[in-house]
């Protein structure tokens, strides 16, 4: 089972078993990452599961859809490595992925 790491804005580290086929947002909620809010439950409609992808991993993820890019407009402090974690599917290849959460989210 791939392992992924969420590093919250306050440096809390969660290394979690991720089930292939689930989304990173679901993995985070299961693992108690409280700065992933996921208000809309994974419909790509709220931008409250915003994460920053570790630089080493940005190009290894499937690219953003137009829908995800549009939805990022309602996030804050958006950076080139910004993603919505509900739109990243867990695969075996993502073993070791590191995601960080923005400081404003979940507070």
Partner 1 sequence: MAEPIKTDVLIIGAGPCGLFAVFELGLLDMKTHLVDILDKVGGQCSELYPEKPIYDIPALPIVTGQGLTDALMTQIKPFNPQFHLGEMIESLEKIGDPLFRVTTDQGKVFEAKVVVIAAGGGSFQPKRPPMPGIEAYEGTSVFYAVRKMEQFRDKNLLIVGGGDSALDWTLNLAPIARRVTLMHRRNEFRAAPDSVNKMRALVADGKMDLALGQVTALEGEGGQITAAIAKPDKGDPFKIECDTLLPFFGLTMKLGPVANWGLNLEGEVIPVNTESFETNVPGIFAIGDINTYPGKLKLILSGFHEAALMSQKASKYVNPDKRIIFQYTTSSSSLQKKLGVA
Give the binding site for partner 1 (CB under 8 A): 39-40, 43, 45-48, 69-70, 73-78, 80, 103-104
Pick the closer one to partner 1 by CB: 27 or 48: 48
CB 81 within 8 A of CB 53: yes
Decide whether 2 or 44 has the Cβ nearer to partner 1: 44
Smaller CB separation from partner 1, 75 or 94: 75
Is residue 50 within 8 A of residue 99, CB to CB? The reply is no
Q: How far is CA 20 from the centre of its chain?
A: 15
Tokens of 80: 């080139």
């Amino acid at each position: 089972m791939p392992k992924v790491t969420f590093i919250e804005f306050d440096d809390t580290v969660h290394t979690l078993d991720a089930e292939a086929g689930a989304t990173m947002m679901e993995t985070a909620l299961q693992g108690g990452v409280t700065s992933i809010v996921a208000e809309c439950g994974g419909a790509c409609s709220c931008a409250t599961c915003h994460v920053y992808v570790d630089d080493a991993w940005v190009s290894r993820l499937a690219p953003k859809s137009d829908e995800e890019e549009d939805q990022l407009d309602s996030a804050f402090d958006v950076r080139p490595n910004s993603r919505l974690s509900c739109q990243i599917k867990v695969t075996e290849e993502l073993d070791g992925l590191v995601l960080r959460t923005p400081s404003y989210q979940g507070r």
